[in-house]
Structure 1
Amino acid sequence: MSPPAAVAAADGGTGGGGQQSRQQQQGGFGHSITGIIRIAVFWYFASKFFSPKKPADPSHLISNLFQKGEPMDMWLYLSEHQRFNDFGNEASLVWHETNIPYATWGPESTRTLSLNYHPSDALKNNGSLYAHVFFARSGYPPDPNDPEYQSQAAFGRTHSLVAYLPKSRSDKRKSLLGNSKDAEGSEPVAMVVDDAEAESKDDGPVEWIAYWKPNITINLVEDFTRKIFACSVITC
C-alpha cells in the first residue's frame, strides 16, 4: 500500500507545478500585449505631433480675385450715415472713375479730384461725414440690389472724414523771459502762483470739437500670394 501513496504524492506535486507555470506564461503574454498597445499609442501620437505637415492642395488655395492690370471702376459717395445703401442718389456721388488698372502703379493709375463740399446744418453741429468707397470690375455695378451685381466682382470700405479732438484752450500763462520793460517792478513769484490758481479754476469738462480732414487718399493693397484666404483691401 505504501507505493501507491508515494505515486499519488508525486503526481500531486507535479500537477501543482504545472498549473503555476501555466499562470506565469499567461501573465507574461498579457504583459506583452499591454506593452505592444502602449508602443502603438505612443507611436500614433508621436507621428501626429512630429511628422512633417503635408502641403495644402493647390485646388484648395485661394488667390487674388483680380488680375494684375485688370480695369476697375471706382465710386466715392459722401454721406452723413455710416451705413450706405443709397446708390441711386446722384447727389451723394462726388467722384467716379473708370478703367483704373489694378495693381499697376503708373501715371494712368493715379487720379485726383478737388471739390468744395457744403455741409448741412446737422453736420455743422458736430455731425459726422463718411466717405463710402467702392471698386468693381469695369462694367459691373457696386450696388448689391442691381440685377447684374456679383459679390466677387465688387468690394468697398467706409472711412470717416471727421476727427473729434478736445477743444483747444487759450493759454493764459505769461512768460517770465519776455520783455524786460514789462518785467520791471513785477513780482514773478506771485505771478506764477496767480496763473496756477487761474488754470485750476478753468479746469472743467472737456469739450470735443469735430475737425474736417482736408484730404483723403485711397490706395489699393494687392496680394497675389496663394493662401488659405486672400482679399483686396482699401486703405484711406
Structure 2
Amino acid sequence: MAPPAGQTAAVAEAAGADGAQPQQQRGFGSTISGIVRIAVFWYFASKFFSPKQKPVDPSAPSQLMTNLFNKGESLDMWFYLSEHEKFNDFGNDRALYWHETNIPYAVWTPESIRTKSLTYYPSETLQNNGSLYAHVFFARSGFPIDPTDPEYQPLNSFSRTHAVATYFPKQKKNKKKSLLGSPKDSDESEPEVEKVGDKKSDPKEEVPVEWISLWKPNVTINLVDDFTR
C-alpha cells in the first residue's frame, strides 16, 4: 500500500536536508586545506627564494661601539700643554693649564659650556720650529686619569692629543722686476708664499723650502655622543 502524498514529501525533504549537510562540511574542509597549502607554499618559497642575510658578527666595530657614559653623567677634564706628542707627566702642575669638574655628558645647556683664556710662553725649542701638543683627558668625576694610579680604570677615562702648532712654508719676497712698470714699482716687492711641489717651476730657481710653525689661537673641545642604539 503506497504512503500518503504528504508523508512522501516530508520524507523527501528530510533526505534532502541530510544530504546538504555533508556537502557543506566538505566545502568548509576544502577551504581550510587550501589555506594551509597556500601557507606552506609561501613559507618554503620565502625560505628558498628570499635574499640570505649575513649573520651579525658580535665582534664587529659597529656592534662594539657604545657610549661609555650615561647621558647627564658628570665628567672631569684635564688640559695639558706639552712639547712631546706622548704625555704621561700627570704630576707636573706647570703643564696643567685647565681643569674642569662636573661637566654633564651629552647635555647641551649653558652649564656644559666651559671657556678659558690663557697665556703660554714658548721655550727656545718651540720658537725654533718646535712642536706643541694639547693633551685632553676626560674621566668620570672622582676617577683618576693616571694609569699608574691604583684606582685607575681604563673604561672610566679617555683622552685625545691635538697639535697646537702647524707648519707652513715661509713667505719670501718676489725679486722679479717688471720691465713695463716704473722703477718705483719695480723696487717694491710683495711677499709670496712658496709653492711646494710645483713641477712647472724652473729647476734652476728651486731653493730649499723653509718651514715655520704657526700658532692656532683657539682650541675647541667637543664631546660627540650617540644614543641612537
Task: Indicate the SS of the match to 1:108.
Answer: helix
Shift of 1:147: 1.0
- The TM-score with structure 1 as length reference comes to 0.61
The CA deviation at 1:66 is 0.6
Q: How many residues align?
A: 165
Matches of 2:64 and 2:212 in 1, distance apart? 48
Percent of pairs identical after alignment? 61
What displacement does 1:203 show?
Answer: 3.8
RMSD, aligned α-carbons? 3.2
Letter in 1 for 2:52: S
Partner SS state of residue 115, structure 1: coil
Distance 1:219 1:178, change over 3 A: farther
State the Cα distance separating 1:171 from its structure 2 match. 3.0
Once residues 88 and 132 of structure 2 are traced to their aligned partners in structure 1, the CA distance between those partners, rounded to angstroms, is 15
- Any conservation in 2 of the 1:167–1:206 contact (CA below 8 Å)? yes
Task: Tell me, in whole angstroms, the C-alpha distance in 2 between the residues paired with 1:109 and 1:94.
Answer: 19
Deviation at 1:225, TM superposition (A): 3.4
1:212 aligned partner: 215
By percentage of residues, which structure has more helix?
1
* Map 1:53-132 → 2, pairs under 5 A: 53=54, 63-132=66-135
Structure number with greater CO (CA < 8 Å, separation at least 6) is: 1
Distance 1:214 1:62 in 2: 33
Letter in 1 for 2:119: N
- In structure 2, runs of 5+ residues without a counterpart are 1-46, 187-200
TM-aligned CA distance change 1:176 to 1:110, over 3 Å: farther
Give the alignment's TM-score, normalised by structure 2.
Answer: 0.62
- CA drift of 1:182 comes to 6.2
CA contact (8 A) 1:78 1:131 kept: yes
Of residues 60-69 and 110-119 in structure 1, the stretch that sits farther from structure 2 once superposed is 60-69
Aligned to 1:158: 161
Distance 1:174 1:141, change over 3 A: same
Who is 1:51 aligned against?
Answer: 52
Letter in 2 for 1:150: Q
Structure 1 position 50, deviation (Å): 3.6
Secondary structure, counterpart of 1:220 in structure 2? coil
Amino acid at match of 2:100: E
- SS of structure 1 residue aligned to 2:155: helix
Quote the Cα distance in structure 1 between the aligned partners of 2:184 and 2:79.
Answer: 57
Structure 1 portions without partners, runs of 5+: 1-45, 187-198, 227-236
Cα deviation code 1:193-232 (max 9, x no counterpart): xxxxxx9676411100011111110111111233xxxxxx
Q: Distance in 2 between matches of 1:151 and 1:126?
A: 35
- Structure 1 residue identity aligned to 2:53: P
- Closer, same or farther in 2 for the Cα pair 1:178/1:218, shift >3 Å? farther
